[in-house]
């Protein structure tokens, strides 16, 4: 009898443990995709989403690694009498399942949005208390990615709410990337690596460069928690504003560079169907993306600061490096950088010695720049970067 009881206990513990986990290896490198919020806000519908799907599937983004098309807030309207979520029939007359099928038919994956609180940030029904039903629906619809927000969650514990949803997703059985969005309010980098594949670590990005909660402010917040970044568990500095109105083309390129240097999720947030070719070429630069997608998942650290120019370095899996010279100032600035100086990673306590024997490749210029045997000199425009890789000779 005792043996039997022990067996039962082990069995139940086993079941509990098997649900208390996230799906393994869904994001070995930072997820790449597009999300509706930065460009459309609440004004989203199935036609617009399909236009973005068609653009991504045909403009080179898909081949560059972008996979997820994610609808953010405002797709949902109410719950039925059994508590299942209902999509707004005016905006999504064909229903979410049909849209997911459409996305899949183009070889892409489909993401959706909800919230751990009672209501979403735009006051649509949230997930609190309905986790199992929502997860079941998402699995039936063929959802591949869930962004889970944190509005209207007064009195709730983030770790509990997000873990409940993680378990519900796992139980529903369809592998779904789980993207936490509690804005860094309860330090998810300390606990969420067992809950989701990525977590927002700051408030919402603003479509600006050096002012407000724009690109530079977020970069500064994120580099303080860089040590928590790793495969399948990424700090998320929020979706890209590349190509949106508030940034010059140079600033868009710098923004993209910094996200690649941080090994950040690359979730475009512009209108993919109408963007200029120059913006598309930023979003699809294969060498920049290779830096972002490097399988170490290491975020950059500061190597040097001279005046307004900072030098950031990101070690890559094959023993090469990505280096970004960043001009923060509102004026042009010159770089004169000697590669011999040691680069000390302050968080992992590693010292890198670039020993004069690396080839330099200018990622945005698309050309070789000599070797690290000589100091590098260049002039950077206001808010510009020089983004290079260093490969062994």
Binding site residues, ligand GAL, CB under 6 A = 37, 72-73, 120-122, 149, 151, 181, 183, 204
- Count of CB atoms situated within 10 Å of the CB of 321: 22
Helices 249-261 and 215-223, axial angle in degrees (round to 10): 10
Query: Is 204 marked active-site?
Result: yes
Burial of 157 (0-12, 13-18, 19+ CB in 10 A): exposed
Nearer to ligand GAL, 87 or 343 (CB): 87
* Least Cβ distance, residue 38 to ligand GAL (angstroms): 8
Q: What is the closest distance, in whole angstroms, from the C-beta atom of residue 225 to ligand GAL in the complex? A: 17
Closer to ligand GAL by CB, 162 or 387: give it. Answer: 162
Considering beta carbons, is residue 183 or 352 the nearer one to ligand GAL?
183
Catalytic residue, chosen from 101, 204, 308, 362, is: 204
Catalytic residue among 72, 134, 144, 149: 149
Looking at beta carbons only, is 183 or 191 nearer to ligand GAL?
Answer: 183
For ligand GAL, the nearest residue by Cβ is 121
In the complex with ligand GAL, the residue whose CB is nearer, 170 or 217, is: 217
Provide the minimum distance between the beta carbon of 35 and ligand GAL in the complex, in angstroms, as a whole number: 8
CB of 33 to ligand GAL, least distance (A): 14
Q: How far is the CB of 302 from ligand GAL (least distance, A)?
A: 27
Which residue numbers are catalytic? 149, 204
């Amino acid at each position: 009898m005792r043996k039997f009881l022990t067996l039962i206990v082990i069995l139940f513990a086993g079941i509990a443990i098997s649900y208390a986990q996230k799906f393994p290896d869904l994001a070995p490198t930072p997820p790449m995709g597009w999300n509706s919020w930065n460009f459309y806000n609440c004004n989203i519908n199935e036609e617009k989403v399909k236009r973005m799907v068609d653009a991504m599937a045909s403009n080179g983004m898909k081949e560059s690694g972008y996979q997820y098309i994610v609808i953010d807030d405002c797709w949902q309207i109410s719950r039925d009498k059994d508590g299942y979520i209902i999509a707004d029939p005016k905006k999504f007359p064909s229903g979410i399942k049909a849209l997911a099928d459409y996305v899949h038919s183009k070889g892409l994956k489909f993401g959706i949005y909800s919230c751990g609180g009672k209501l979403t940030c735009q006051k649509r029904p949230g997930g609190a208390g309905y986790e199992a039903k929502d997860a079941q629906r998402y699995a039936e619809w063929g959802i591949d990615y869930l962004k889970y927000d944190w509005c209207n969650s007064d009195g709730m514990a983030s770790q509990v709410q997000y873990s409940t949803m993680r378990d519900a997703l796992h139980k529903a059985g369809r592998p779904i990337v789980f993207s936490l969005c509690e804005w860094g309010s309860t330090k998810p980098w300390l606990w969420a690596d067992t809950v989701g594949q990525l977590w927002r670590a700051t408030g919402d990005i603003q479509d600006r460069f050096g002012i407000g909660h724009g690109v530079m402010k977020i970069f500064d917040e994120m580099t303080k928690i860089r040590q928590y970044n790793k495969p399948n568990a990424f700090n998320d500095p929020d979706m890209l504003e590349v190509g949106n109105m508030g940034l010059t083309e140079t600033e868009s390129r710098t923004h993209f560079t910094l996200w690649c240097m941080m090994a950040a999720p690359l979730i475009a947030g512009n209108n993919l169907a109408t963007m200029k070719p120059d913006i598309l070429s930023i979003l699809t630069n294969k060498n920049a993306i290779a830096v972002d997608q490097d399988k170490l998942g290491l975020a950059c650290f500061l190597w040097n600061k001279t005046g307004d120019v900072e030098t950031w370095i990101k070690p890559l899996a094959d023993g090469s490096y990505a280096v970004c010279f960043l001009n923060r100032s509102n004026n042009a600035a010159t770089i004169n950088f000697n590669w011999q100086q040691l680069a000390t990673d302050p968080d992992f306590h590693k010292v890198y010695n670039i020993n004069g024997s690396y080839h330099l490749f200018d990622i945005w210029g698309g050309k070789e720049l000599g070797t690290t045997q000589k100091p590098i000199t260049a002039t950077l425009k206001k808010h510009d970067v020089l983004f290079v890789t260093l490969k062994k000779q």
